């Protein structure tokens, strides 16, 4: 994975500040308000970088079948204990980092349908960014007219009728699957955090259904809102029945992520070239 030099340099600076503040804490020297604010910012940055590092360290899909078989063998032995099965499912989700990767997938593709609808290329045809996924595979609907509304009902407290739902349909071994994503990142519940007030928490509700009837995945993918960027925070797994669909979806997630990484790399290279050109014009005889 390509890591820009500036990222390494900034990382070293952050590590130095963190180590200095940690040393002061161990010596019971109180941090100044500015140092405490800096420490909190560094923790957020560190968490964001850790997430980016994790989701870009792709799981080796050639090992998926073996991992799934071992998992199914364990589940077979404890199938009469739903709580133990749930724990095993959560452990597999952790090994595959499926929930974390799905959070990134949502963040990567949530603008694609709008770009396709509202942007044109030079020849007048609709703009579509990805080669890994086609426009007809990733469609945008209002919740009131989506397949998800038919599955969970209009009375669901997770959605409003005008919420935009992204549907990604795919087929594996003769079975049809649909990944449903709430495009908006403003879902909220009230959560008491031990203070004298209630704080809002936000998440993407995500579902995967097989053949428009069997729920094989459901989770709340939480995020932390920052001044300039929203970042992955944690997830709550509500349903998970893994299978070949999981391998296929991971492959698609990896393909989109690779495209996004390449796009970011090309953008950085173009910015560097433009900066070098301007500096040459302004500073070199």
Spans of all domains in the chain: 1-57, 98-257
- Span 199-244, pLDDT tens digits: 677 888 999 999 999 999 999 998 877 666 778 888 999 999 999 9
Entry pTM: 0.79
pLDDT at 183: 81
Note the pLDDT tens digit of each residue in 138-167: 999 999 999 999 998 866 667 888 889 999
What the block records as the tokens of 93 is 């989700």
| Residue 1 banded pLDDT, cuts 50, 70, 90 | very low
Three-state secondary structure of the chain: CCCCHHHHHHHHHHHHHHHHHHHHHHCCCCCCHHHHHHHHHHHHHHHHHHHHHHHHCCCCHHHHHHHHHHHHHHHHHCCCCHHHHHHHHHHHHHHHCHHHHHHHHHHHHCCHHHHHHHCECCCCCECCCCCCCCHHHEEEEEHHHCHHHHHHCCCCCCCCCCCEEEEEEEEECCEEEEEEEECCCCEEEEEECCCCCEEEEEEEEEEEEECCCEEEEEEEEEEEECCCCEEEEEEEEEEECCCHHHHHHHHHHHHHHHHHHHHHHHHHHHHHHHHHHHHHHHHCC
Of 9-18, 134-143, 195-204, give the lowest mean pLDDT range: 9-18
pLDDT band at residue 195, thresholds of 50, 70 and 90?
A: low
Task: State the chain's mean pLDDT as an integer.
Answer: 83
Q: How far apart are CA 17 and CA 42, in angstroms?
A: 9
In the chain, % of residues over pLDDT 70: 72
How many Cβ atoms sit within 10 Å of the Cβ of residue 124?
6
Query: Which of 121, 148, 197 is CA-nearest to residue 139?
Result: 148
pLDDT tops 70 at residue 115:
yes
Report the pLDDT averaged over residues 183-187. 70
């Amino acid at each position: 994975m390509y890591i820009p030099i500036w990222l390494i340099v900034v990382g070293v600076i952050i590590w130095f500040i963190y180590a200095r503040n940690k040393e002061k804490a161990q010596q019971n020297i109180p941090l100044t308000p500015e140092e405490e604010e800096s420490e909190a910012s560094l923790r957020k940055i560190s968490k964001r970088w850790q997430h980016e590092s994790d989701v870009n360290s792709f799981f080796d899909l050639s090992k998926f079948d073996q991992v799934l078989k071992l998992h199914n063998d364990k589940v077979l032995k404890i199938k009469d204990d739903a709580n133990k099965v749930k724990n095993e499912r959560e452990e597999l989700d952790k090994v595959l980092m499926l929930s974390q990767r799905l959070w990134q997938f949502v963040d990567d593709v949530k603008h694609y349908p709008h770009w396709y609808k509202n942007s044109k290329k030079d020849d007048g045809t609709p703009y579509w960014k990805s080669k890994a996924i086609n426009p007809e595979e990733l469609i945008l609907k209002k919740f009131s007219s989506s397949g998800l509304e038919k599955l969970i009902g209009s009375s669901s407290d997770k959605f409003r009728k005008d919420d935009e739902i992204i549907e990604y349909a795919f087929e594996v071994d003769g079975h049809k699957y649909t990944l449903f994503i709430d495009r908006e990142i403003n879902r909220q519940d009230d959560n008491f955090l031990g203070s004298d007030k209630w704080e809002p928490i936000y998440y993407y509700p995500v579902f995967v259904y097989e053949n428009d009837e069997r729920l094989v995945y459901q989770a709340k993918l939480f995020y932390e809102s920052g001044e300039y960027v929203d970042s992955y925070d944690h997830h709550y797994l509500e349903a998970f029945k893994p299978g070949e669909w999981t391998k296929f979806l991971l492959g698609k997630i990896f393909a989109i992520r690779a495209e996004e990484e390449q796009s970011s790399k090309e953008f950085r290279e173009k910015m560097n070239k433009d900066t070098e050109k301007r500096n040459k014009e302004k500073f070199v005889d």
